[in-house]
Amino acid sequence: MQRRPSPNFEVSVKSNKIDKKSLEYQMYEAVHIKNGSDRYKKMKFLLENGADANRMSGKIKWVETNPLWSCCEDPKLAELLISYGADVKKRPYVASLISYINLADKNPREDRKMFYEKHPLVPIIYEHEMYESVKILLRSGADPNFKCIYGEKSLFPATDWNYKRYFSKHGKTAINYCVEGNFLSLFSLLIDYGAKLDKESIRLSKETTAQTGSFEMEKLVKLHWKLQNEK
């Protein structure tokens, strides 16, 4: 059997002409409305009138053509799209959201604290800001064990099989992003929805203890690692 080529991370641009009157194009425009209330109203109107919750126009296929992928950090928009049939099982939504969190609500890593103290103009995403969105995705059936790579939205993987293979080999699970960042509340949420620890979780928990001065995450990892392996 001939082996498939390695993932190609060049930008994949659709060559077919975009119909600006189509629901897919109108959804693309709606997703990019800056005002949150107006964005919600427009997207709801389009969905009520037959727009596909899984499709929108976009030049870069994998990145720009999935409404939920562009909006999943907003709990209201995530719930809206899911209620109209958005597929939460196809992409690493949970790992992606957690990978973009910068600081834990409790005992954040010292290296990250120092970075944001030195760069006060850099926006910060805190753990609690993503909690509700992550919970909605998990409750709706999103896989807590899919892997992703921080910043993957800028890699522009061209096809679904492409990113799945690359992330599976090189990515990190949502639970390990939590362990690394000391995201205690999200860690417990993921465990409740079936997230699995691995040997990397143990290593990261020790590093987190060194960076935070707190053993809380390391103790949780050891406890759940033991429970997981007793089953």
**Domain ranges for the chain:** 23-230
Comparing C-alpha atoms, which of 155, 154, 196 is closest to residue 176?
Answer: 196
Query: What pLDDT does residue 169 have?
Result: 81
Q: Can you name the residues that pair with 172 across neighbouring β-strands? A: 148
85: left (phi over 0), alpha (psi -120 to 50) or beta: left
Query: What pLDDT does residue 19 have?
Result: 78
| Average per-residue pLDDT for the chain | 88
Q: Among all chains, which residue has been given the structure tokens 């992928």?
A: 69
CATH for 23-230, among 1.20.58.340, 3.40.50.1370, 3.40.50.720, 1.25.40.20? 1.25.40.20
Least confident of 44-48, 166-170, 180-184: 166-170
Q: What is the mean pLDDT of residues 34-48?
A: 97
- Give the list of residues 6+ apart from residue 130 with CB closer than 8 angstroms, or none: 73, 97, 98, 100, 101, 186
Dist. CA 204–CA 98, nearest whole Å: 15
| Cβ-contact 198, 165 below 8 angstroms | no
For residue range 183-210, list pLDDT tens digits in order.
Answer: 999 999 999 999 999 999 999 999 999 9
| Cβ-contact 61, 158 below 8 angstroms | yes
Higher pLDDT, 164 or 119: 119
Query: What pLDDT does residue 65 have?
Result: 84
Q: Which amino acid is residue 76, in one-letter code? A: K
Higher pLDDT, 126 or 11: 126
Comparing C-alpha atoms, which of 225, 155, 222 is closest to residue 196?
Answer: 225
Q: Among all chains, which residue has been given the structure tokens 């427009």?
A: 42
Dist. CA 32–CA 132, nearest whole Å: 21
Report phi then psi at 138, rounded to 5: -65, -45
pLDDT surpassing 60 at residue 4: no
Q: Can you name the residues that pair with 147 across neighbouring β-strands? A: 173
Query: What pLDDT does residue 59 have?
Result: 72
Q: What is the mean pLDDT of residues 102-107?
A: 96
pLDDT surpassing 60 at residue 156: no
Q: Among all chains, which residue has been given the structure tokens 């970075």?
A: 115
